[in-house]
Amino acid sequence: MHIGLDNNYNSIHPHMRCTIDNNISGIYYNSENNISFYIGKSVDIKLLKLEYGIVSGYSENNILPMIRFKKDTFFIAPAYERTGNVGVVLGWEYKL
């Protein structure tokens, strides 16, 4: 779910990830119906997992920062639009 944003975004994001130690990289179908690549780190903070790094594939810039907090299979991430709107993305991951 995209909350607080004007546009109607894609809410299904098929995703493949490689994790080595706390390094993460992957590819996914993003909110703007484009392919995104990312690299970053995953860090445990008490009961949460923090993921941060850089991502490509969004219309606003070539490379953007990314950050999200996870608790089990649920996550929350900040989101923003070129218009200045700030919101959040709430999601649930289903792993195959």
What is the tens place of the pLDDT at every residue in 19-50? 999 999 999 999 999 999 999 999 999 999 99
CA distances to 17, 42, 65, 83 from 52, rounded to whole Å, are 14, 7, 8, 24
pLDDT in tens, 45-88: 999 999 999 999 987 678 999 999 999 999 999 998 888 889 99
